[in-house]
Amino acid sequence: MDADVIVIGAGLAGLQCARRAQRSGHSVMVLEAEDAVGGRVRTDRVDGFLCDRGFQLLNPAYPAVRQWIDVPALELQKFGVGVVVRSGQTTTTLAHPIRHPRHALATLHSELTPVSDVVAFVRWMVPALLRRSTASTFARDETLYASFDAAGFTGRLRRDVIDTFLAGVLADSSGESSANYARQLMRFFAAGVPGLPHTGMQALPEQMAASLVKPVRLGTAARDLTETADGVQVMTDSGTIRARVAVVAVGPQNVADLTDLSTPATRGLTTWWFRAPALLQAGPFLMVDATRPGGGPAGPIWHTAVVSEAAPSYAPTGENLVEATTLLDRPDGLAGQADVRRDLARLYQTSTRDWEVLAHHVVPHALPAQRPPLEDLGPKWTGSRTLVAGDHRGTGSIQGALNSGDRAGRTVVDFLAP
Ligand SMILES: Cc1cc2nc3c(=O)[nH]c(=O)nc-3n(C[C@H](O)[C@H](O)[C@H](O)COP(=O)(O)OP(=O)(O)OC[C@H]3O[C@@H](n4cnc5c(N)ncnc54)[C@H](O)[C@@H]3O)c2cc1C
């Protein structure tokens, strides 16, 4: 045997699984098809800018992050807890009144936050507030929009802010995602201050990989996986690897390549990264657009941020890095550069003619589709020695991937126990 455990895929789930099994004294080998660890959490360095492969944030309030990640070592640069709302010619900053007292009065007295809407929003959140559990299942589930309607949450706060914000976070503009999943995310947003590591999001998986005794075998795709009487065999282009048990942590779009599970549905988005020379003063917040009559963005961009205002290490001194995210479930999800540039000019009320595109990341399988009822499926045995893990077995998030990987690690440790 080459190892007790072979983990296929060095995303967050695979890495956490490997660390858990290693901690129990097992020899572990991790295979990764790409040239670096991280899976969906990767960072490109472009001309001194850090462009994550799809804008995302790390929320230190995730229990899995608190438990298993050395957060101080990541030197998180904090985003604001709130949003800037662009509506026609008006810009309003709505922010957590305690964390951002400077914006408290404007937030509480905004036309976007009438008391009736705030009360309805709290009513919608009640199931998540009453249950302290981080489990993804609450008593009953329904689609996001049906749950908003049922809670009477139908005013401007929903239409102009929350619908658009959550569509960007869930990569779902249809409102058909699980209400319980959305509640869980909102609870984490309220509990923590999301941020970006000093050297980019990839610092998170790199920190995890650094604690493995055997380095991850990069550029090594598993081509085939078969079970034998006493273990598993994994074919790679450089030979066959044998182990006592395999964990397949390859992401939703690849799970059917190596197991008999069907491919889970996913949702996609794209992120444009721009070098913006002019000093933009949007604050360390995400901006959402509520210009379309009835709510929602008037152009292809569902959220944008001057990332370097919150995370200065993402841009060289004196320069700005701007992200703009479009959704692939929209007809304009693959809008061209000219349209995105025009939309940014409208949103930031400035010329974007000189802004330079640094990168455009198209991520068709960014997140598993989280339709109701949200179920915490847990790692799954697909043979007597093959276990499947990943965010698609829990929730589509850093929390979900880490948790699934850890559970898979504990499951194989139990399996290998004498
Ligand atoms: C653009 C974007 C924004 C996001 N925003 C957030 C956010 O703000 N907050 C949040 O909590 N979550 C966010 N997420 C979700 C989060 O990043 C994912 O849920 C998590 O990273 C998934 O980890 P995973 O290990 O399950 O899968 P992956 O990261 O997909 O890892 C699978 C790995 O397996 C490898 N692999 C595949 N096939 C093989 C093979 N045959 N052999 C070897 N290796 C193979 C892949 O190369 C990959 O490295 C976002 C995701 C994206 C893409």
CA dist., res. 244 & res. 2, Å (int)? 9
Among 28-32, 64-68, 338-342, 373-377, name the one with the lowest average pLDDT: 373-377
Query: Residue 178's pLDDT is what?
Result: 95
CA dist., res. 170 & res. 189, Å (int)? 14
For atom 13 of ligand 1, the residue with the nearest CA is 397
Considering only CA atoms, give the Rg of the chain. Answer: 22
pLDDT at 43 over 50: yes
Query: Residue 138's pLDDT is what?
Result: 54
Contact of 35 with 46, CB cutoff 8 Å: no
pLDDT at 236 over 60: yes
| Ligand 1 centroid – CA 335 distance (Å) | 24
What average pLDDT score do residues 390-396 get?
Answer: 95
CA 31 to chain centre: 22
What average pLDDT score do residues 380-405 get?
Answer: 96
CA dist., res. 118 & res. 161, Å (int)? 12
Query: Residue 135's pLDDT is what?
Result: 47
Cβ–ligand 1 contact at 82 (below 6 Å): no
Structure tokens at 184: 């869980």
Query: Residue 279's pLDDT is what?
Result: 67
| Ligand 1 centroid – CA 99 distance (Å) | 30
Cβ–ligand 1 contact at 8 (below 6 Å): yes
Q: What is the mean pLDDT of the chain?
A: 94
Nearest in space to 19 (alpha carbons), one of 68, 74, 73: 68
Query: Residue 206's pLDDT is what?
Result: 98
- Tell whether the torsion through CA atoms of 92, 96, 100 and 105 is positive or negative: positive
What's the pLDDT band for 136 if we cut at 50, 70, 90? Answer: very low
Walk me through the domains of the chain, giving residue ranges and CATH numbers.
3-42+202-265+371-416 (3.50.50.60), 77-196+269-368 (3.90.660.50)
* 274-330 tens-digit pLDDT: 999 866 777 899 999 999 988 899 999 999 999 999 999 999 999 999 999 999 999
Query: Residue 317's pLDDT is what?
Result: 92
Contact of 286 with 305, CB cutoff 8 Å: yes
| Ligand 1 centroid – CA 31 distance (Å) | 15
Cβ–ligand 1 contact at 236 (below 6 Å): no
For atom 38 of ligand 1, the residue with the nearest CA is 250
Residue carrying the six token digits 């942590």? 249
What's the pLDDT band for 89 if we cut at 50, 70, 90? Answer: confident
pLDDT at 134 over 50: no
Nearest in space to 1 (alpha carbons), one of 246, 259, 209: 246
Cβ–ligand 1 contact at 14 (below 6 Å): yes
Cβ–ligand 1 contact at 2 (below 6 Å): no
| Ligand 1 centroid – CA 41 distance (Å) | 6
| Ligand 1 centroid – CA 157 distance (Å) | 32
* 182-201 tens-digit pLDDT: 999 999 988 889 999 999 99
Query: Residue 139's pLDDT is what?
Result: 63
CA dist., res. 77 & res. 237, Å (int)? 40
User: Per residue in 269-292, is it b (16+ CB within 10 Å) or e — as a string?
Assistant: bbbbbbbbeeebebbbbbbbbbbe
Query: Residue 99's pLDDT is what?
Result: 86
Task: Using most ligand atoms within 8 A of CB, pick from 8, 56, 286, 360 the residue to mutate for ligand 1.
Answer: 56
Percentage of the chain lying above the pLDDT 90 cut: 86
